[in-house]
Amino acid sequence: MLAAPFRVGFRPFGRFMGAMDVMEKIHKRHVKTPHWYLMVVGVDPSLQGQGRGAALVREGLDRADREALPCYLETSEKRNVAFYERFGFQVVESARLGTGGPEAWAMLRQAPHP
């Protein structure tokens, strides 16, 4: 991380850190108890539509369910909102990530009831 500003440039890195700050504040506002955080889920575009992303999400949710914990994630892809809703996530807040930046959605799935 220390080399990132030198690799991508200080301005892009500053925008990235600003976006992370916005989402961190949203995260803290909506989840105050122990939980699982699906931080990065991605599938190569050439392999999408084959159930790989769903398998990754299910793996994380299975672990959260075993511990009876809620699960939180963020996405900056509008089409992913419906994808995650199929797993029981609900949008808790959305935000614009900087001036002219993309919109992002914070989503939470409550812990299962025993």
Residue 66: both structure tokens together: 């075993």
Instruction: Write out the E strands in the chain.
Output: 36-38, 71-75, 90-96, 103-109
- CA 81, CA 91: separation in Å to the nearest integer? 8
Specify if 9 maps to a domain: no
Give the pairing type, strands 36-38 and 103-109.
unpaired
Mean pLDDT of 49-73: 93
In single-letter form, the type of residue at position 107 comes to M
For residue 15, the Cα-to-chain-centroid distance in whole angstroms is 18
Specify if 15 maps to a domain: no
Specify if 81 maps to a domain: yes
Residue 64: both structure tokens together: 């959260």
Per-residue pLDDT band at 98 (split at 50, 70, 90): confident
- Residue 63 confidence (pLDDT) above 70: yes
Specify if 49 maps to a domain: yes
Specify if 19 maps to a domain: no
Question: Higher model confidence: residue 13 or residue 96?
Answer: 96
Specify if 100 maps to a domain: yes
Q: In the prediction, which pLDDT does 100 show? A: 75
First to last CA, the chain: 41
Give the chain's domain count: 1
Q: In the prediction, which pLDDT does 106 show? A: 97
- CA 92, CA 89: separation in Å to the nearest integer? 9
Specify if 21 maps to a domain: no
Q: For the domain that residue 97 is a member of, what is the CATH number?
A: 3.40.630.30
CA neighbor of 91 nearest in space, from 69, 112, 76: 76
- Residue 20 confidence (pLDDT) above 70: yes
Specify if 30 maps to a domain: no
Mean pLDDT of 49-75: 93
Per-residue pLDDT band at 13 (split at 50, 70, 90): confident
Q: In the prediction, which pLDDT does 42 show? A: 84
Q: In the prediction, which pLDDT does 103 show? A: 93
Task: For residue 92, give its domain range.
Answer: 36-114
- CA 22, CA 78: separation in Å to the nearest integer? 18
